[in-house]
Structure 1
Amino acid sequence: MPLPWTRPVLAGQLQDLGLERGDAVLVHAALRQVGPILGGPDALIDAFTDVLGPEGTLLGYCDWQAEEDAFADPALRPHVPPFDPERSRSIRDNGAFPELLRTTPGARRSGNPGASCAALGGQADWFTADHALDYGYGTQSPLGKLVEAGGKTLMLGAPLDTMTLLHHAEHLARFPDKPVKRFEVPLLINGATRWRWCEEFDTANAPPGLPEDYFATVVRDYLATGAGQTGRVGNADCVLVAAPEILAFAVHWLEQHYRTVGN
């Protein structure tokens, strides 16, 4: 294969993997795994839009680069930059792809700071509108809408334990004593900073008794059923799954394994 990778070749690989025109796909990308790209990461985003077409939508999980250490410091709190969907940077822990997508012309970003997603394409406005500030990984979120739309999730060289859609499964799964956290966030509202208390299930930690990287086990168990597609984009090993199917699998997996752990 040619090096560096070109936009048409990457588009062909995405199609071979199973992406189709009109799809909505949430992408987690480790860009270094792809290898050199002619035109850089922007050419990869262009390859996605070539495959998805104007009616398709490309999504990335942003979170935000919060200055949380300053939130409780009386001297610093008045100077903490508020969350602004149009300007606040994506968290660095998620790699460069979400921020590159967020800053692509035409992209939108949802309004829940920690659960925020960027979207580019035909349904970008719908995916990012009305993101709940409480329980932001629930049904009123880009994750919930991805399932509603029959979308897909692509791990493009990214570790399987970073599949954000499974936080939606944690929200939906029924098991006792789900850890809940309450926290304050500064929001930019009408040009001013407003602090708001928020509440959500604790997505920073695995449910009691499960390892922190259990998402990877869920994905591997799902793939072992014969579902999903694997392949390569550039040099990156990839996994593509249907959002509704892996969500249902993960909810059942969580409920069954939590019962096992608890007994």
Structure 2
Amino acid sequence: MVHASLGGTGLRDTDVQKALLEALGPDGTLVVPAFTPENSFTSRAYKELTDGMSEREEREFRESRPPFEPDATPCPTMGVLAECVRTTPGAVRSGHPHTSFAGLGPRAAELLGDHDPHCLLGERSPLARLYAADAQVLLFRVGFEVCTAFHLAEYRLRPTPPKRTYHGVEGEKGNWTPYEDITLYDGDFGAIGERLPRDLMTKREMAGKAVLLLGMREAVDQGGVQMSGYRHGLT
């Protein structure tokens, strides 16, 4: 699973995708987050889109929002590599209206299928299947702040984190459908990553920024241990 920022590298998304697939080999599967946070009226992305709108303008904007379609909805906030993977012929994309994943390779359908639309990033999402498959996480010139794997650790906390209501456009334009899931929080992901043992990861550099490779199981397990020490009661 790759999180990447190619800005300032001079690298083309298609070349990076090709290099990753070649490194994985014919039996490997490349997965990227293909999230659509703008399809939620409580997300930072949505609030940026509607900043400065009047109440009437925002209402009209909500009513005009198209439904999430796995085969067509872009994921602009995830970067050019994610869009490259998503739009490559043969790519598979999971069906969650907020937190879908896209993948290429022989196990893409197995890993990304049956993403429960009411489970953002928990046991009924591709993250749990990637964990079971002993996947690796590549942070390509991005920090642990965007390490999605840590969200799986949140679902595994005991007691379970409190729930909240999410909304996404489904079915038809302007049809904002509510569902409940746990309250996700990524504000401490950078600190969690910095506290991980260095021997769990391989570190290199590309165009002045770090590139880190680590096992997803280790990241989730150790991240969960850290969270369990101070996360209880988070709202």
Q: TM-score range by the shorter chain?
A: 0.7 to 0.9
Q: Does 1:182 align with 2:157?
A: no
Give the equivalent residue in structure 1 for 2:191: 217
Paired residues of 2:29 and 2:104 also in contact (CA < 8 A): yes
Give the AA of the match of 1:113: P
2-structure distance, mates of 1:220, 1:165: 15
2-structure distance, mates of 1:223, 1:230: 12
1:250 Cα deviation from its structure 2 partner: 0.9
1:233 Cα deviation from its structure 2 partner: 4.5
Question: Residues 71-98 of structure 1, C-alpha deviation per residue, up to 9 Å, x if partnerless?
Answer: x966555432000011111142x32221
Question: Residues 190-212 of structure 1, C-alpha deviation per residue, up to 9 Å, x if partnerless?
Answer: xx556532221122x35xxxxx2
1-structure distance, mates of 2:29, 2:207: 21
Paired residues of 1:118 and 1:128 also in contact (CA < 8 A): yes
Give the equivalent residue in structure 2 for 1:15: none
Give TM-score scaled by structure 1 length.
Answer: 0.75
2-structure distance, mates of 1:76, 1:154: 36
Q: 1:244 aligns with which of 217, 223, 232?
A: 217
Question: Residues 88-146 of structure 1, C-alpha deviation per residue, up to 9 Å, x if partnerless?
Answer: 11142x32221121112211111012111111111111122100111221111111111
Aligned-pair identity (%): 24
Give the equivalent residue in structure 2 for 1:29: 4
Q: How many residues align?
A: 219
Q: 1:51 aligns with which of 15, 23, 26?
A: 23
Structure 1, unmatched stretches of 5+, are 1-25, 207-211
Structure 2, unmatched stretches of 5+, are 51-55
Rg larger for: 1
Paired residues of 2:40 and 2:168 also in contact (CA < 8 A): no
Give the equivalent residue in structure 1 for 2:143: 159
Give the equivalent residue in structure 2 for 1:60: 32
Three-state SS of the structure 2 residue aligned to 1:161 is: helix
Paired residues of 2:40 and 2:166 also in contact (CA < 8 A): no
Give the AA of the match of 1:251: G
Give the equivalent residue in structure 2 for 1:96: 80
Give the equivalent residue in structure 2 for 1:5: none
Paired residues of 2:92 and 2:102 also in contact (CA < 8 A): yes
Instruction: Write out aligned runs for 1:108-127 (5 A).
Output: 108-127=92-111
1-structure distance, mates of 2:60, 2:208: 48
Give the equivalent residue in structure 1 for 2:14: 42
Paired residues of 2:5 and 2:142 also in contact (CA < 8 A): yes
Query: What's the RMSD between the two structures over aligned residues?
Result: 2.4
Q: Cα gap change, 1:235/1:247 in structure 2, threshold over 3 Å: closer, same or farther?
A: same
Give TM-score scaled by structure 2 length.
Answer: 0.83
